[in-house]
Every structure is written in structure tokens, then in C-alpha cells.
Amino acid sequence: MEIIPAIDIIEGKCVRLTHGDFARQKTYHALPLDVAKAFEDAGIRRLHLVDLDGAKAGSIVNYAVLEAIASQTKMEIDFGGGIKKKEDVELVLKAGATMATIGSIAVKSPETIKEWLAEFGADRFFIGADVLDENIRINGWLADGGINVYTFLEQMISFGARHFFCTDISKDGAMQGPSTDLYKNIIARFPGINLTASGGVTTMNDLHELEVAGCAGAIIGKAIYEGNLSLEEITYFKNLKN
């Protein structure tokens, strides 16, 4: 199982939200590049980079942060937040992202994603299913997407999408453990799905549970910044599985 630290960006700074609430924001570092370098120095090779300003605005805002991290580290980066047009996909890939992270646009305009998958290839997209009570949320988690997670995933899989992550908003930033049962249900419904867990990962035991559940990866955010999970522990877990 791949361990993927998250860097969420607001106004160019590394922050975390609780339950996706922009009013419950905590800034952890003024320089996301320094955070990314610390991850890389610890042996981590994958980064989940989220432009929260972009997600809220509906257009990419913190492009410069992606460019800086991509040019000054060797990390594989998935970047999302505000990607709405083909030109946005081209922009983030040109800036050095390995994958474009797609959320709201996949719900609002699924045919667009079908076209992008055909043009750029499935391995260039990390499809996010952000859920609250198993229903998809969009626009930085601020609006109801009008579709449940299973219907959404079924549609994306039919288009050829291969890489997914699912965030339970009720767990995100709360450090109360992940929605392991939800992930088990998804994997049972779609055997062989490449699913990364996101939200609530707090302890080493959480990581072991997600691995047993069949998750391909786990995104970790607040637990790192608050010191619940150290980079040494994460690296140990990563090396143990290699």
C-alpha cells in the first residue's frame, strides 16, 4: 500500500481544514516546498497536492506551488483543485504533475472526463470521490453532487478510469480513524479497483487496517502535521511492505 502525504494550499501556504470547512483552517507552514522536501528526504516519493483556493474558485490558483515542488524535488505529484478545462490538464501536467486530480468536473460533466481519459490516458488522472453519507460532494465539498459514490465510480470505471481516491468528509481532519467499512464496501462492489483511502488516517493501526481492507494507498495529512504519525513511522511502514 502506497503512503501519500497531502499538502493542502491556501494563499500559497500549507494548511489543513476540519471536515472540509474553510472556516476551520489551520496553517502549518508558510512554505509548502520545504514540507515537500522534508517528505522526500524521509524517502517518500508520492505527494497529494491540493489547491483549496482553486477548488473553491473553480479555477487553478496556486499553480506556482506545483511548479516549485515539481522542479525542485523528484516526487510524483498528483495535483488538483480548480481543474475544469482541457487547458488546465495540460497546464498541470506541463508544470510537472504526474497526474491531474479530478473531482467536481467528473460529476458535473462526465463526458468531458471520458474525452480526457481517451486523449491523455487513464494513468494521467486521479479521480476523487469526496463523500458525505456515501453521497458525492463537489465544489470544494461545499455542494451536493446529486449522485452516490457507487454510481459515480461505476460510471468512471466504464470510461476507463483506473486510479481513484475516496475521502469521507466526516472523517477528514478529525483524526478519528478512516472509513474502513466504506472502503471495504467499495472494493467488494468493484473488485480490483485501485482505491486510495483519504480522511481520518491517524495511527499505524489505521494503515494496517486499510491495507487489509484492500486499499492501494492511503493519503495522510493532519496526522503528520500534528505529530500523531511521524515520517519515521511512515517510512518504516513503507519499507516494511517493500
**pLDDT of 121:** 98
Least confident of 16-20, 29-33, 107-111, 235-239: 16-20
pLDDT in tens, 3-41: 999 999 999 999 987 766 777 778 999 999 999 999 999
Contact 39, 47 (CB under 8 A): yes
Active-site position among 8, 78, 88, 168: 8
pLDDT in tens, 86-97: 999 999 999 999
Quick one: which H or E segment has residue 87? Answer: helix 86-94
pLDDT in tens, 67-78: 999 999 999 999
Contact 104, 83 (CB under 8 A): no
Q: How confident is the model at residue 140 (pLDDT cuts 50, 70, 90)?
A: low
**pLDDT of 237:** 82
Q: How confident is the model at residue 51 (pLDDT cuts 50, 70, 90)?
A: very high
Mean pLDDT of the chain: 92
Long-range pairs for 55-62: beta carbons < 8 A, 24 or more residues apart: 55/80, 55/81, 55/82, 55/103, 55/104, 55/139, 55/140, 56/22, 56/139, 56/140, 56/142, 57/82, 58/82, 58/84, 58/104, 58/139, 59/84, 59/88, 60/88, 60/91, 60/92, 62/9, 62/12
Which numeric CATH code is attached to 2-241?
Answer: 3.20.20.70
Q: How confident is the model at residue 174 (pLDDT cuts 50, 70, 90)?
A: low
Mark whether 41 is an active-site residue.
no
Contact 157, 192 (CB under 8 A): no
Domain ranges of the chain: 2-241
**Residue 172 clears pLDDT 80, i.e. is over it:** no
Mark whether 130 is an active-site residue.
yes
Residue range 215-238: mean pLDDT, rounded: 91
Q: How confident is the model at residue 182 (pLDDT cuts 50, 70, 90)?
A: very high
**pLDDT of 21:** 74
Q: How confident is the model at residue 145 (pLDDT cuts 50, 70, 90)?
A: confident
As a whole number of angstroms, the distance between CA 170 and CA 167 comes to 9
Cell 494507498 belongs to residue: 217
Active-site position among 88, 130, 168, 206: 130
Quick one: which H or E segment has residue 55? Answer: helix 52-57
